[in-house]
Homo-oligomer: A and B are copies of this chain.
């Protein structure tokens, strides 16, 4: 058997250093360019196409039928892939049985195997990107970068954090002190113990980015993992389960350490899985509503959630209105705003936004932003790369409900329309609707509109906007927040206000990097301080509770 730890040792050391300094470090290239990857691009597409209209076989125990009805947002046709429908009791038993040998293999072996898994996921990034594209609706470049290398690096990061926490625990100690006149000597042994079977519930729109860290943190700590994908987005997780099981088999370990449970929207089983006595850990990405249910009903189990929130942009002042409009316009459109980190509420000073030395009116600012977005989307090919497709029908209804707010409750600053995707004429598409609101319309904007719905909110002052945005973040959740200001004092106040609300803040970001981009080893994702989730990718608390320590001590005569 290959010593996977030795094989990946140099990468592990680099990753530890990156996590320490939080400087930029990427072992995997996130450009999908043919120049870099050669025929891997075509091979990945072919591999994806070969999956279509076929049963996806997983040789895991407890298969009692077939299930799965994914529909591509690009073709609006079924993928035609069926997955094993499982007897959950049988699956859990198999997972439980696999744990002792995995535990006894030790942290070093487990971490080596996990590092190998991450590398193998990376090698399959193109098949995975097509799977993500045709389930989530992401554009191909985003599905590749965000769902491939960026997600794999978040997984790697979790492995590295788990390794560091485990490596810090002494394996043994000799202990000696006097009691009265007698010297007592003991040999002590400390063992890392997994908690058991861990459940990882993945989301519909960005499945791998959150699931990989959860899966790897659990595995590295010695647990077995049962992956439950969203019923609309199964294939990316099935591919991962296949690769992880293959790695385990090649390492001479029980593949049932990683298994897949597929359910349907009609018969969801997440609640049943969360509350099972033998579910030891729960990771969840998805709606704030269900995340809260899990937090409240997991009853003492460790729970790690990443849900959603109301991400705001506060405009105070800038020296580069054009750059701002381009950068912000792009991030408002990206993946049709179907990301938990997308900005949604753009606060614009009612009396005018300072750009260089002039004051730009609310109307002029919003016009500039709308024009920037219109320019970005004027070409269908470019629109396809930016907006991608709409994941499901409910998001279309959300857009309709938003538009119905005008004219009585809102001003329609930009209408939502389908656009013609250059490659997929039948794609489910919508450009963003932009509503003009007043800061008093809190009942409308102070919740997540998951999809292409954007609010431009008139505020009396940047200060008022800041307080409102931070207060909404605290109360309703927010992952990211954004501010533009040339005033150092204002920037400091923004850092404090959003810091208190637990929403990460990006300041004066202009350029080609999407505002929503979060880099593994450098950007903490979700603070745990507001309702947008209780866990962070990745800090010590994301990994340290996934294993326990049991001790024995023996008298040394």
**In the complex, what residue of chain B is closest to A280 when comparing beta carbons?**
B529
CB <8 Å contact, A23 and B173 = yes
Q: Which of A142-197 touch B at CB < 8 Å? A: 165, 168-170, 173-177, 179-180, 182, 184, 186, 188-191, 193, 195
Contact assessment for A511 and B184 in the assembled complex, using a CB-CB cutoff below 8 Å: yes
- Among A177, A193, A299, A508, the one with the most B-chain Cβ atoms within 10 Å of its Cβ is A177
B536 and A548 within 8 A (CB): yes
A17 CB to closest chain B CB, in angstroms?
11
Q: Tell me which residues across on chain B come within 8 A of A500, comparing CB atoms.
A: 193
Closest to A305 in B: B300
Per-residue CB contact flags for chain A residues 24-50 toward chain B (1 = under 8 Å, else 0) read 101000000000000000000000000
B191, B519, B548, B554: the one contacting A508 at CB < 8 Å is B554
Q: Is A524 an interface residue (CB 8 A)?
A: yes
The answer to whether A495 touches B168 (Cβ under 8 A) is: no
The answer to whether A193 touches B529 (Cβ under 8 A) is yes
Query: How far is the CB of A279 from the nearest CB of chain B, in Å?
Result: 15
Q: Which of B184, B189, B491 contacts A512 (CB 8 A)?
A: B184
- Which residues on B sit within 8 Å (CB–CB) of A506? 552-554
Query: Could you tell me if A555 and B509 are in contact, using CB atoms closer than 8 angstroms?
Result: yes
A419 to chain B, nearest CB (A): 23
A420-B503 Cα distance, complex, nearest whole Å: 64
Closest to A525 in B: B551
A334 on interface, CB distance cutoff 8 Å: no
Cβ B512 vs Cβ A553 within 8 A = no
Residue A550 CB within 8 A of the other chain: yes
**Does A522 sit within 8 A of B, measured CB to CB?**
yes
A216 on interface, CB distance cutoff 8 Å: no
Rounded to whole angstroms, the CA-CA distance of A529 and B546 in the bound complex is 11
Please pick, from B512, B540, B555, the residue contacting A544 in the complex, using a CB distance under 8 A.
B540
**Is the Cβ of B552 less than 8 Å from the Cβ of A511?**
no
Contact at A551–B504, with CB atoms within 8 Å? yes
Distance in angstroms from A547 CB to nearest chain B CB is: 9
Tell me the residues in window 1-32 of chain A with beta carbons closer than 8 Å to chain B beta carbons. Answer: 20-24, 26
Report the separation of the CA atoms of residues A55 and B548 in the bound assembly, to the nearest whole angstrom: 44
A551 to B507, alpha carbons, bound, how many Å?
11
**CB–CB A550/B522 < 8 A:** no
Q: How many angstroms between the C-alpha atoms of A550 and B26 in the bound complex?
A: 22
Please tell me if the beta carbons of A512 and B550 are within 8 angstroms of each other in the complex: no
B549–A527 contact, CB under 8 A? yes
| Docked complex Cα distance between A504 and B544 (Å) | 19
Q: Would you give the shortest CB distance from A52 to chain B, in whole angstroms?
A: 32
Could you jot down 30 A-B contacts, CB within 8 Å?
Answer: A20-B170, A24-B176, A24-B177, A165-B540, A169-B539, A173-B522, A179-B513, A180-B512, A184-B511, A188-B523, A193-B499, A195-B529, A295-B299, A295-B300, A296-B299, A495-B552, A498-B552, A504-B552, A507-B554, A507-B555, A508-B554, A509-B553, A523-B553, A527-B548, A528-B548, A529-B548, A536-B548, A539-B549, A540-B544, A541-B545
Chain A residues packing against B (C-beta within 8 Å):
20-24, 26, 165, 168-170, 173-177, 179-180, 182, 184, 186, 188-191, 193, 195, 292, 295-296, 299-300, 303, 491, 495, 498-500, 502-513, 519, 522-524, 527-529, 534, 536, 539-541, 544-545, 548-555
